[in-house]
A and B are shown apart, each in its own frame.
Chain A
Amino acid sequence: MAADHDSVYEEFEGKIPLNLLDEVRESLPDKCNKTQLKKILEKVYAEYSTSMIEPGESVGLISAESIGEPGTQMTLNTFHFAGVAEFNVTVGLPRIIEILDGRKNISTPMMEIFLKEPYSQGKDIKELAESIRQAEFKDFAKEITLEITEGTLEVKLDMDKLKRVGLNEAALGKIMEKSLKGFTLKIKDDLMTIKSKTKGENISELYKLKEKVKSVYVAGIKGILQVLPVKRENEFVIITAGSNLRDVYKLDFIDKKRTTTNDVFEIEDFLGIEAARQSVINEVFKVIENQGLNVDIRHIMLVADTMTLGGKVRGITRYGVVSDKASVLARASFETPIKHIVEAALIGEIDPLTSVVENVMINQPVPVGTGLPELVSKKQ
Chain B
Amino acid sequence: MDEEIYVYKKVEAIKFGVLSPKMIKQMSAVKIVTPELYDKEGSPVDGGLMDTRLGVIDPGLKCKTCGSKLKECIGHFGYIELARPIVHIKFTKLILDLLRCTCKDCGRILIPDEELKKTVKKSEKIAKSKTAKAKRIVVKETILKLKTVSKCPHCKAKLEKIKLEKPTTFMEGERRLSPIEVRTRLEKIPDEDIDLFGINPSVMRPEWAIMTLMSIPPVTMRPSITLESGERSEDDLTHKLGDVVRINQRLFENINAGAPEIIIEDLWDLLQYHITTFFDNNVAQLPPARHRSGQPLKTITERIKSKEGRIRHNLAGKRTNFSSRTVISPDSMIDLDEVGVPLTIAMKLTVPEKITEWNFEYLKEYVKRGPKVYPGANYISRPDGKKKKITEETLQALLEELQIGYVVERHLIEGDIAIFNRQPSLHRMSMMCHKIKVLPGLTFRLNPAVCAPYNADFDGDEMNLHVPQTEEARAEAEILMEVQTQLISPRYGLGIIACNHDSIGGNYMLTKMIEMPRTDAVQLLASVGIEEFGSLPDKEIVNGREIFSVLLPKDFEFTGKARDGTKVVIQKGKLKEGFMDSANLGSGSGLLIRNLHKRYGAERALKILGAMFRLGVKTLLYHGFTAAFSDTDLKTENDQEIQNVLKEAEHKVDEFIEVYKKGNLDIFPGRTAEETLEIKILESLNKARNDAGRVVSKSLDRTKNTLIMSLSGARGNIINLAQMAAVVGQQALRGKRIEKGYKGRTLSCFRRGDLRSNARGFIRHGFRQGLTPAEFFFMAMTGRDSLMDTALRTPKSGYLYRRLANAMQDMRVEYDYTVRNASKRIVQFSYGEDKIDVSKSEGGKINVKRIVESVMEGE
Q: Are A93 and B315 closer than 8 Å at their CB atoms?
A: no
Min CB–CB distance A1 → chain B (angstroms):
16
Min CB–CB distance B320 → chain A (angstroms):
13
- Asked, given contacts A17-B834, A85-B679, whether A93 binds B809 with beta carbons under 8 Å apart, the answer is no
**Restricting to B32-76, which residues have a CB under 8 Å from any CB of A?**
none
Interface 9-mer from B231-239, B305-313, B562-570: B305-313
- Asked, given contacts A76-B789, A296-B844, whether A59 binds B812 with beta carbons under 8 Å apart, the answer is yes
What separation, in Å, do the CA atoms of A150 and B500 have in the docked complex? 80
Interface 9-mer from A114-122, A134-142, A354-362: A354-362
> In this assembly, does A364 line the interface, its C-beta being within 8 Å of a C-beta of chain B?
yes
- Asked, given contacts A55-B813, A68-B797, A302-B827, whether A62 binds B428 with beta carbons under 8 Å apart, the answer is yes
Q: Are A76 and B810 closer than 8 Å at their CB atoms?
A: no
Q: Are B819 and A346 closer than 8 Å at their CB atoms?
A: no
What separation, in Å, do the CA atoms of A306 and B819 have in the docked complex? 10
- Asked, given contacts A296-B492, A302-B811, A333-B316, whether A346 binds B836 with beta carbons under 8 Å apart, the answer is no
Q: Are B805 and A64 closer than 8 Å at their CB atoms?
A: yes
Select which of A301, A346, A370 is within 8 A of B476 by beta carbon: A370
Select which of B136, B679, B804, B817 is within 8 A of A316 by beta carbon: B804
> In this assembly, does A44 line the interface, its C-beta being within 8 Å of a C-beta of chain B?
yes
- Name the B residues within 8 Å of A60 (CB-CB): 807-812, 819, 821
Q: Are A28 and B852 closer than 8 Å at their CB atoms?
A: yes
- Asked, given contacts A97-B796, A349-B132, A354-B822, whether A23 binds B848 with beta carbons under 8 Å apart, the answer is yes
Interface 9-mer from A45-53, A153-161, A165-173: A45-53
**Restricting to A56-84, which residues have a CB under 8 Å from any CB of B?**
56-72, 74-77, 79-81
- Asked, given contacts A296-B493, A347-B200, whether A64 binds B828 with beta carbons under 8 Å apart, the answer is no
What separation, in Å, do the CA atoms of A93 and B804 have in the docked complex? 14
Min CB–CB distance A352 → chain B (angstroms):
5
What separation, in Å, do the CA atoms of A349 and B812 have in the docked complex? 24
Min CB–CB distance A363 → chain B (angstroms):
8
- Name the B residues within 8 Å of A346 (CB-CB): 18, 94, 198-200, 203-204
> In this assembly, does B90 line the interface, its C-beta being within 8 Å of a C-beta of chain A?
yes
What separation, in Å, do the CA atoms of A294 and B808 have in the docked complex? 20
Interface 9-mer from A183-191, A250-258, A319-327: A319-327
- Name the B residues within 8 Å of A316 (CB-CB): 803-804, 807
Nearest residue, chain B, Cβ from A356: B809
> In this assembly, does B372 line the interface, its C-beta being within 8 Å of a C-beta of chain A?
no
- Name the A residues within 8 Å of B485 (CB-CB): none
Q: Are A322 and B806 closer than 8 Å at their CB atoms?
A: yes
Q: Are A27 and B849 closer than 8 Å at their CB atoms?
A: yes
B15, B131, B476, most chain A CB atoms within 10 A: B15
> In this assembly, does B5 line the interface, its C-beta being within 8 Å of a C-beta of chain A?
no
**Restricting to A321-380, which residues have a CB under 8 Å from any CB of B?**
321-330, 332-334, 337-338, 341-358, 360-362, 364, 367-370, 372
Interface 9-mer from B6-14, B329-337, B519-527, B697-705: B6-14
Min CB–CB distance B821 → chain A (angstroms):
8
Nearest residue, chain A, Cβ from B810: A355
> In this assembly, does A146 line the interface, its C-beta being within 8 Å of a C-beta of chain B?
no
Min CB–CB distance A93 → chain B (angstroms):
6
Given contact pairs A60-B809, A364-B11, A368-B810, a sample of 18 additional A-B residue pairs in the complex whose CB atoms are under 8 Å apart = A20-B848, A44-B846, A51-B841, A57-B837, A60-B807, A60-B819, A68-B797, A93-B800, A294-B492, A296-B493, A329-B14, A330-B810, A337-B304, A337-B309, A347-B199, A348-B17, A351-B13, A357-B316
**Residues of chain B having any CB pair with chain A under 8 Å:** 10-18, 90-91, 94, 131-133, 135-136, 198-200, 202-204, 280, 301, 304-305, 309, 311-312, 315-316, 318, 426-428, 476, 480, 490-494, 588, 668-671, 679, 683, 734-735, 789, 792-794, 796-798, 800-815, 817, 819, 821-823, 825, 827-828, 831-838, 840-841, 843-844, 846-849, 851-852, 854-856, 859
**Residues of chain A having any CB pair with chain B under 8 Å:** 17, 19-20, 23-24, 27-29, 31-32, 36, 39-40, 43-44, 47-48, 50-72, 74-77, 79-81, 85-87, 93, 96-97, 100, 226, 228, 241, 294-299, 301-303, 305-306, 309, 316-317, 321-330, 332-334, 337-338, 341-358, 360-362, 364, 367-370, 372
